[in-house]
Structure 1
């Protein structure tokens, strides 16, 4: 067994072992999915090189920022936004670490999609320029249908027009005249009866007693849910809720287990004392997003921390494969992602040890760090190919079986 495989197995050892093969299968699909599933390896490597990385202000970061961790979602105010949307790894860390993670994802994703390497370099440089410029302005910006431009506007208008019936159509079926979560969906897995009963009782209690829960709803069904790449292996459940006062109205709610951020071993910055990991995730999400996702909440089930939120439509991220030959569209998306990254840091500035807006503006005016980020991202994108080849060799040899 290679050293890489030992590291992967060790990191995933505290997760559901019967689900981990699905994670390795997803990571084997292509090098970008491998990158998405190995956030911990990325930061272990970055930590070793940190002396060569310019200093940057401490800010709240989502931690695992890449091209597919931006997307559309319905907020509590019922409006649709385009923003950062994954905060499992969120932590107080150097601002530049978040930027390096994203820029590296541009090189890896573009290589996976067989987009011209020069275009990848141009888009990475664009991201850095727009990110720095937004910091210099010092004002957080949000993107929703009325303010979006180009393909992002079209994307959000499509998400806004989408109905909840589309979610229900993909996720549910009728069984004996009752609407239930469909086990024909390959991402839905049947639960053991006792656990299912306990989960239904737990969410019923959350609905009754949490200020974040939906009023006048009851639990009708629950299944285990497989989703994402890096998060495969965590305990994750999907609940179907039915309105008790409006006929035919349903909600689908996701409940996901929370672990400590994989960046924590490498961050010397003092962190707040969170009651639970779920509190860490949702608090930082509230700070960084302009408006938070619908029903965002936390709970503790059987001594383990979870994050709850309303399920978003599956097609909530920009599909770069569809626009790989549309330079202007890619330009707009990358530019918007840079604006949102800087805006999230500005929006959460001055909170619990994070840098102030003035400190971020000062950092944005510096120019030397951009070249360092570009060079490091290109180097990592090249080096990860060796890791991916080793992973695929071990995968095909049954090391992860």
Structure 2
């Protein structure tokens, strides 16, 4: 079997597959997820990573490409900025919820498909998409062939990534606090807006605070993590419907040096049923996500921790003032800017795969370099992305017909 094959459409019920996947999540937040997915085929693709791997021809030739630690949900909007332990601001992959040990081409196939769908959403010509896919693949394999790891920061960034990093270098913690909190009598509390930060019960706040206290108890800096306020955080697309909290902590002193933390529920990866390579026996899913991020990123964020809470595992990380994404919007990005962004993103993907080489089952860098120098798989991968983008467009139309009742559906707070 070759990867150019399309999925079998016989008796394909996309709506039922999506409903089944999201059936255990908060139904009101899932309704919001569906409304986001209706925006265009690119948004639909972002919210259906599980479909991509259900459809992937696992026994195809490209599944036997060298195994590395992959993001698993690599698309154009899963990149962003963050500050590392060295206090440098980087631009890199910022979502590892689906991370696993798998063929490097799984990441690239998903990235290439996302390019074609993003081109549609930005109203560029589809011929531009073909060219941008080749830019992506060439940039990735050139960096892979060179065998050198690296990172994108203010010193070497180009185009809109450089602009973003330069802007964020001037943003202070107080700016983030003013945006997300209100100050009352020298004490901060979260700014609830019924949209992105939702108020929760006192009982639920206490449960979250207790989980943070239990985790921090043996840390020298445990006073840093004294919880001042907790709210439910609504963010992203694919993860909507899962438990997620925004936590205000004492940090380095109230009121100006408080910190904001993100606590996110982690479930098994959408890749899990389809993996070929043996995986480590992780303690829990949050540990998997945390460790994959550390294996892949040359300079991981300053705070990452796995926490047991509510009968599951959650990833704790700092919400930073220098954290942001590049959103792809019509009239805000030119074709030339998009090309430079794709070159940068493709280099980051190569850096990530090379950085994970030789670690916990991933191939050594020499094998990745040889794979990058081999031209045999390039056209097959491009063909698959082209064909699968067509499939996504069909699935998106079917999804829109099935969810017409969600159009204009009023926003409802999740049930706690």
**Within-5 A mapping of 1:65-76:** 65-76=74-85
RMSD: 2.3
Preserved contact between residue 258 and residue 307 of structure 1 (Cα < 8 Å): yes
CA offsets 1:35-81 (integer angstroms, 9 cap, x no match): 00000001111136x42546310110010000011111111222110
Residue 316 (str. 1) matches residue 286 (str. 2) = no
Residue 368 (str. 1) matches residue 376 (str. 2) = yes
CA offsets 1:52-111 (integer angstroms, 9 cap, x no match): 546310110010000011111111222110011100000000111110000100000111
Greater displacement, 324-333 / 234-243: 324-333
CA distance in 2, matches of 1:141, 1:79: 14
Aligned with residue 242 of structure 1, among 250, 258, 282? 250
CA distance in 2, matches of 1:361, 1:179: 51
Aligned with residue 344 of structure 1, among 352, 359, 372? 352
CA offsets 1:2-42 (integer angstroms, 9 cap, x no match): 82121111111222233211111111122211100000001
Tell me the residue number matched to 1:391. 399
Tell me the residue number matched to 2:134. 125
Structure 2 gaps, min length 5: 1-10, 410-416
CA distance in 1, matches of 2:225, 2:291: 25
Tell me the residue number matched to 1:293. 301
Preserved contact between residue 63 and residue 106 of structure 2 (Cα < 8 Å): no
Preserved contact between residue 57 and residue 363 of structure 1 (Cα < 8 Å): yes
Q: 1:364 to 1:244 in 2, by over 3 A?
A: closer
- Helix, strand or coil at the partner of 2:169: helix
**Within-5 A mapping of 1:2-401:** 3-47=13-57, 50-51=59-60, 53=62, 55-175=64-184, 178-184=187-193, 186-210=195-219, 216-243=224-251, 245=253, 248-313=256-321, 316-321=324-329, 326-397=334-405
Preserved contact between residue 187 and residue 255 of structure 2 (Cα < 8 Å): no
Alpha-carbon shift at residue 324 of structure 1 (Å): 5.9
Preserved contact between residue 82 and residue 322 of structure 2 (Cα < 8 Å): no
CA distance in 2, matches of 1:139, 1:398: 48
Preserved contact between residue 61 and residue 92 of structure 1 (Cα < 8 Å): yes
Q: 1:16 to 1:247 in 2, by over 3 A?
A: closer
Q: 1:52 to 1:333 in 2, by over 3 A?
A: same
CA offsets 1:179-232 (integer angstroms, 9 cap, x no match): 211112511112122111111122133333347x67534211000111100000
TM-score (norm 2): 0.90
Alpha-carbon shift at residue 115 of structure 1 (Å): 1.2
CA distance in 1, matches of 2:159, 2:102: 33
Preserved contact between residue 171 and residue 185 of structure 1 (Cα < 8 Å): no
Q: 1:96 to 1:248 in 2, by over 3 A?
A: same
- Helix, strand or coil at the partner of 1:47: coil
CA offsets 1:247-303 (integer angstroms, 9 cap, x no match): 521110000001111011111210000001111100010010111112111110132
Preserved contact between residue 168 and residue 322 of structure 2 (Cα < 8 Å): no
Task: Number of aligned residue pairs: give it.
Answer: 399
Preserved contact between residue 278 and residue 306 of structure 1 (Cα < 8 Å): yes
TM-score (norm 1): 0.93
Preserved contact between residue 324 and residue 330 of structure 1 (Cα < 8 Å): no
Q: 1:219 to 1:398 in 2, by over 3 A?
A: closer
Alpha-carbon shift at residue 318 of structure 1 (Å): 1.9
CA distance in 1, matches of 2:332, 2:159: 15
Alpha-carbon shift at residue 388 of structure 1 (Å): 0.8
Q: 1:247 to 1:319 in 2, by over 3 A?
A: closer
Alpha-carbon shift at residue 329 of structure 1 (Å): 2.1
CA distance in 2, matches of 1:307, 1:5: 30
